[in-house]
Amino acid sequence: MSNDCVSRRTFLKIGGSSVAATAAVIVHPANAAPAQVKNTGRTLLPYPSNPVASASQMTVGTPLQFSYPDASSPCLAVKLGTTTLGGVGPDHDIVAYSMMCTHMGCPVAFDAKTNTFKCGCHYSMFDAEKGGQMIAGQATEDLPRIRLSYDEKTGKISATGIDGMLYGRQANVL
């Protein structure tokens, strides 16, 4: 054997150093641009602004049916009679929700005595005063809330967006 052989220890030191140096260059390149963060939670399409009703025409406990954001999406607007978080109108008591239960898409009905939406198919209940929060039944998600705007000059209420996903959709705006 000649003396030109590299010892196992020297080979491992040189090999390990080479791998570490290569990894350092790959992980932290000198001229790297900062990563662009995309907001994937935002809708890419704008919600339309659709008129719903005049605040003066709404009475406490009487739901008003409309469609939003398209004709295939039935919704209910209700004047609750008590100031509610997210409520609009002169008394901040008008709210709106999708009529399709988040469990299996059955229609929900408003119960004015309890200010809840009830699904007749599987008995899920949603609280209208607490943002459509699911309070009982088979549903696992809150009822999608329709965002409303109120024009003080004209008294008109318009639907402007949705908080939550409509039943059976991959996107609310098609």
- What is the gyration radius of the CA atoms in the chain, in angstroms? 29
The model carries a pTM of 0.74
Catalytic residue among 77, 79, 103, 143: 103
Q: Cis bond leading into 46, ω under 30°?
A: no
User: Annotated catalytic, 28?
Assistant: no
pLDDT tier for residue 5 given thresholds of 50, 70 and 90? confident
The pLDDT value recorded for residue 32 is 55
Residue 122 annotated to the active site = yes
For residue 124, is it within any domain? yes
Query: Does residue 40 fall inside a structural domain?
Result: no
Mean pLDDT, rounded, for 137-152: 95
Under 8 Å between Cβ of 77 and 94: yes
In a domain, 139, yes or no: yes
Residue 5 lies in a domain: no
Residue 153: CATH number of its domain: 2.102.10.10
Query: What mean pLDDT is reported for the chain?
Result: 87
What is the domain extent for residue 67?
50-163
Is 54 domain-assigned?
yes
Among 17, 122, 149, 171, the one annotated catalytic: 122
Structural domain contains residue 32 = no
